[in-house]
Structure 1
Amino acid sequence: MRDDARPVMTTAQRRIYEKTGNPPQTAALDDPLDPFESPRPSLAEQMAARKKPAKYRNTKCEHEGIKFDSRREMAHWFELVQQQAAGLISDLRLQVPFVLTERKQRDDGTWERASKYVADFTYMRRGKLVVEDVKSEATRKNRAYIQKRKQMLDKHGITVKEIK
């Protein structure tokens, strides 16, 4: 075998090889046709193994095709459904968007997107619209949320009720 055909070893790898007689374990020295080689996980399996937890440690869940961002949100939905069945509230809706600023065209001709607030729940109680959002202590302090909550009051005259 010619020397230039073999992969180059680092000094440390060469010394280990000389002392032990075991070749270093590098990708360059691996035999691609080795039947005893363990299969490498697919990219999808690698990504699933590395999945980070949610930013606010919430657990997304689903019930009868309805997706919720957290268990707390799903539990509150069940409470509201019971209240509607009892006749305390009406017109219960989930994930309702409110436009805070309209889409506008800039001076250079490009468009600025509209700004929206998506409420977790809306319903009517005694003829008045109620907007609720399920928030943890951490998400209640989120600057973007606070700004949108203030814009809801300014533009629509609606106070967002925060559910803990």
Structure 2
Amino acid sequence: MLFGLRNLNLRQSIKQSISASYSVIGSYFTWKAFCCVYRNDSPIVCVLTQSMEPGFKRGDILLLGHRSRDGSRPFHVGDTSVYSIRRGSIPIVHRVIKEDMTTNQCLTKGDNNAGDDVSLYRPGQKVLNPEDMETTVLGYVPFFGMPTIWISSIPFMRELILICTALYYFGSRE
């Protein structure tokens, strides 16, 4: 395969580059299709911890619904909610255990955690405000997120996968 890279002429190199581009573009459009279907800019997340076991296990892929930051769709006790304390931070998926119907504020807890999530909130914050809440979980796919966890936890795994993918595309002849 590596010797094949040396023998590629310009036309073959361009053809292989276009073929690799199709793969990247196809992945991007698939992601954007999920975003449109679920009306959410992050419709899929991977469970990274055991805080929601036995319902969701580490490595499960969660399908998230439409975002409702304006409070138009209040969260209710029992909903599996997604919230972020700071914009851009990793979203937290925990269950609503207490709600205030007048202010749409709520308190959350991981199913496998001993106590509520107040320690995860901003200093002095006792409940989540509607603007902290993002969405709810619609469904899940068990264990499909494990490659994401492996890539993140094993040093240089991401780079190794990129190199192998590039060698595959540029080393194969069609």
Same fold (TM over 0.5): no
User: TM bucket by the smaller chain?
Assistant: under 0.3
- In the superposition, the TM-score normalised over structure 2's length comes to 0.27
Q: Which one has a bigger Cα radius of gyration?
A: 1
**Greater strand content:** 1
- Structure 1 length normalisation: TM-score? 0.28
